[in-house]
């Protein structure tokens, strides 16, 4: 079992298709909101290639990010840029850690606001374990 951060929020690592100081700004945003951010990492690719990543590349980037910060409670993928849900689900199962995909999070939010507690099997932990 992974430990929760000292303020009650779960610690997470973020992964983005961006490079440089912008990732620090993303991390600062979440920290200001009270989250424990272990890292906000940019994947080392040409930004123009972000939509052309193969399933293997996506899983590899996610797994590499997790390997460098294994004590996190989850991984947050910032921006829908190139992350396909089916690819993320594979990495989530392999790593046994929740991975928050921006499209899945949007679906979750809409269902929650509409009061439709509808778990969606085969769509990752967030949607499978709908509260």
pLDDT digit string (tens) for 45-96?
A: 888 888 888 888 888 888 988 988 888 999 999 876 677 777 788 888 889 9
Residue 74 near residue 99, CB atoms below 8 Å: yes
Give the mean pLDDT of 31-42.
93
Distance of CA 59 to the CA centre of its chain: 12
DSSP letter assigned to residue 19: -
Percent of the chain residues past pLDDT 90, beyond the cut:
26
- Record the tokens describing residue 30, joined without a space: 């979440």
Say if CB 17 and CB 53 are below 8 A apart: no
SS3 percent helix, strand, coil of the chain, rounded to 5, is 40, 15, 45
Give CA separation, 36 vs 9, 77, 79, 115, 128, in Å.
7, 15, 19, 29, 24
Angle 88-93-96 from CA coordinates, rounded to 5°: 115
Q: Which residue has the tokens 């989250």?
A: 35
Q: What is the mean pLDDT of the chain?
A: 84
Three-state DSSP at 77 gives strand
**Predicted TM-score (pTM) of this structure:** 0.80
Residue in the structure block whose two tokens are 């790593």: 95
pLDDT in tens, 101-112: 888 888 889 988
């Amino acid at each position: 079992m992974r430990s929760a951060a000292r303020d009650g929020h779960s610690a997470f690592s973020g992964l983005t298709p961006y490079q440089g100081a912008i990732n620090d700004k993303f991390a600062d945003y979440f920290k200001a909101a009270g989250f424990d951010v272990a890292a906000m990492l940019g994947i080392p690719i040409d930004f123009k290639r972000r939509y052309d990543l193969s399933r293997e590349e996506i899983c590899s980037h996610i797994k590499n990010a997790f390997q460098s910060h294994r004590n996190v409670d989850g991984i947050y993928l910032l921006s829908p840029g190139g992350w396909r849900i089916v690819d993320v689900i594979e990495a989530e199962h392999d790593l046994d850690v929740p991975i928050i995909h921006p499209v899945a999070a949007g679906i979750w939010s809409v269902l929650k606001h509409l009061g439709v507690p509808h778990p969606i099997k085969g769509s990752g932990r967030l949607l499978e374990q709908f509260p």
